[in-house]
Amino acid sequence: MGEAYEFLSSHLRKMASPYLFVGSGLSRRYADLPTWEGLLRHFSAFTSHPFEYYRGLASGDLTAAASLIAADFYPVWWSDSRFEASRSAHADDVSTPASALKIEIAKFFTDSLVGFVIPPAYAAEFETLRSANVEGIVTTNYDKLLSVAFPDYTVFAGQDKLLFSDPQGIAEIYMIHGSCDSPESIVVTHEDYEDFRARDAYLAAKLMTFFVEHPVIFIGYSLGDSNVQEILRSLVIALRGKNAEKLKDRLIFVRWSSSGEEGVRSRTLQVEGETLEAHEVVVPDFIDVFRALGVRERALPARVLRQLKNQVYELVKSNDPDGRLVQISDIDSPDDPLDVVFGVGAKMTVKGVIGLSRWDLVDDVIGAPDRGLPSKQVVEEAFGKSFASNWFVPYWKHLRLGGFLDDTGALVDGVTVPAKILAYMRRDRTNLSHRGTSSATTFSQLLAKVGEEGVLSAPWAVLDATTDAAGLRDFLEVRRNLRLESSTQYAKLVVVYDWLQYGPPAGGA
């Protein structure tokens, strides 16, 4: 693990889940899509002038250059045979000279992701991004790459969608400069940006909530990017200057270094006469950044939390359940048939353990989070109907807390457990009971000696070197990404922890 991982995993652990603020650098890296200047160069090639002509005429202002290109592109679009299909499909949608350019920009980005495949060099990195735990994503990109990475997230494209919809702030992607799915939402010309700035009070207020309550990680931008500067300017104004210090420790800029440089440093930004403090994380690639974002998982997936929050919002807003509250029941009643009970100002409980996955049990045993599962039901119901016989699943905790074990770690006389549990117990005793269980070495010392690969390649041998259950648990929590990379070996280490913490005592059964 590099310096970026160590910093982010510890820095973010004490905060709410982060938001990502994503620029064109990620789309360029994974899908070879152009920068904004590259996009303008592409479309200026259809006119009678090169891009440099427009840039010079606009005195270097790319928004003004885009307006000039849009004006010259408009007659080309109406006459050139290359755009005949677009004219047939969208002629009625053209309301300004810029409309034709926006239609083709949208088509360009849509077509660019048809049959999209991540380049092999970045496949592991992109897969790690997909497992990141982020509250939401803000982007100025027009393409849908982020929806490929986070397919369950709801997309809001453009200011109007944010103004006239009810975003919940969880599992959402805010495409603030528009989307290729909606050409009219695209912000590209000088006039578009002027309109955007004139109406950005709501957007600034919305973003202020994110920035004050969550860490915000900028990635795919440079610190001097005009989009970043504009957003920070709006935030400083919205915070009325004197409250700008509330952003301290919440602004994190990730900068990719082509030279292989790596490090973490403090940066001071001057915006609207105010000083903002931020962290800059310099990385040779993004994999440690995305690993750090995947360390802490939610008790429920983000998309489920969003759905629950949305349902509560709708009930409160309308004050009319319209049949959606179908049953009132005492949660403590043994006859309660509900698998999930969700309430506001009331008790909440989750039952229905049959549907638990092995990773639910892994989360529970390492306490990240402790799901408070009913141990007796887990043993009798979940293991009776779930999990393959060749899986490695922690169960000693629930045998112990469910009252199935005596002091020696043997089953209490007269109790019955599913046959699968008995098979697991026989396997664990074969693999683990003869190990040395030395207490002379901490898990950190073992890790320093044999390395991560050494621990993963021989998980049962961990017991020959250490009984440091707490150290092993910390490793399992921090390195949750190993579930993707080495799922079986990670699960075996969890079984070792479960044995150490809840299994038979040394010299027991």
What pTM was computed for the model? 0.62
Instruction: Tell me the average pLDDT of the chain.
Output: 84
Domains of the chain with CATH codes: 3-32+119-293 (3.40.50), 36-112 (no CATH), 353-502 (no CATH)
Residue 247 is classified by DSSP as G
pLDDT of residue 235: 77
Q: Is 79 exposed, middle or buried (0-12, 13-18, 19+ CB in 10 A)?
A: exposed
Give mean pLDDT, residues 157-163: 78
DSSP 362-414: HHHHHTTT-----HHHIIIIIHHHSS-TTS----HHHHHHTT-B-TTSSBPTT
- Given a cut of 90, is residue 288 above it in pLDDT? yes
- Given a cut of 90, is residue 388 above it in pLDDT? no
Q: What is the pLDDT of residues 278-287, one digit of tens each?
A: 999 999 999 9
- Given a cut of 50, is residue 323 above it in pLDDT? no
pLDDT of residue 211: 79
Cis peptide before 394 (omega within 30 of 0): no
Angstrom CA distances, 183 to 38, 40, 174, 296, stand at: 19, 16, 16, 37
- Given a cut of 50, is residue 240 above it in pLDDT? yes
* Extended strands (E) in 211-256: 216-219, 251-256
Residues shown for the chain: 509
Contact of 260 with 284, CB cutoff 8 Å: yes
Contact of 155 with 37, CB cutoff 8 Å: no
- Given a cut of 50, is residue 310 above it in pLDDT? yes
